[in-house]
Structure 1
């Protein structure tokens, strides 16, 4: 991103803070006109920074994506293929629970990406995850026949299931254990 004038940077940060408040309150609609009203600025200002709802959503998801990439890097460097898989799946699950914007972005296809950096992050994650999961497959730690996409869907489904009840963070370990038991191969 190019450097913004001080007033434009303040407006952008105010818009992001307003959007974060909406998401924290459970409103993922991110209607740009409503965000402009809440932030006390013109609609044109909002659209200059975020031409679409999706662009705003992806910008909100950037910190979670960075954390997931850090976790995937850690997982890819682990000596034990199964532990690497556990780290990868836990990181992805926890970040989806913590950040609804990230959960929506990661659950959607790359064709929906509005920002090139999102696609680049997604590609980096896919490469790291592919390395981790290939090692797990080769070692027999991962159930045969499961694709990388299958595992992503299973993690997304687990995050959704956790969100249906109260205190999802308190139940992460139990749900993750069930997921890991289900995807483990004979050597896991």
Structure 2
């Protein structure tokens, strides 16, 4: 992102804070006119920073994407292929639970991306995750026939299932264990 004037940077930060409050209260609609009203600024200012709801959603998801990339990087550096898979899937699952904006972005196809940085982060994650999963396949740690896309869908589905309960974070390890047991190959 290019450097913003001080007042523009403040407006952008205020818009993001306002949108985060909306998401935290369970409102993922992120209607730009409503965000402008809540932030006390003109609609044109909102649209200059975020021309679409999707652009705002992706900006909100950026910190979670960065955290998932850190987790994927850590997973790719681990000596044991299966431990790498566990680290990768845990990081992805926890960020989906922690950030509904990220959960929506990561569950949608790259063709929906509104911000080039989102696509770049998605591509970086795909490359890191692909390397982790390829090592696990090569070692026999992953159940044969599961594609990277299958695993992505399984993690998104697990995050959704956890979200149905009253205390999702309290059940993460139990659900993750079931997921990992289901995708384990014979070598694990």
Same fold (TM over 0.5): yes
Q: SS at 1:166's partner residue?
A: coil
Determine the C-alpha separation between the residues in 2 that align with 1:47 and 1:172: 37
Inter-partner Cα distance in structure 2 for 1:78 and 1:66 = 19
- Residues 15-60 of structure 1, C-alpha deviation per residue, up to 9 Å, x if partnerless? 0000000000010000000000000000000000000000000000
**Residue in 1 that maps onto 2:89:** 89
Structure 1 runs (4+) deviating above 6 angstroms are: none
Query: 2-side partners of 1:116 and 1:9: how far apart?
Result: 19
Give the whole-Å Cα distance in 1 for the aligned partners of 2:174 and 2:91. Answer: 15
Which ranges of structure 2 fall in alignment gaps of 5 or more residues? none
Paired position in structure 2 for 1:137:
137
Check if 1:185 corresponds to 2:182.
Answer: no
Q: Distance in 2 between matches of 1:105 and 1:95?
A: 11
**What residue number does 2:116 align with?**
116
Q: How does 1:13-162 map to 2 (within 5 A)?
A: 13-162=13-162
Matched with 2:169 is: 169
SS of the residue corresponding to residue 3 of structure 2 reads coil
Q: Which runs of 5+ in 1 are unaligned?
A: none
Paired residue secondary structure (2:124) = helix
Q: Report the RMSD for the aligned CA atoms in angstroms.
A: 0.4
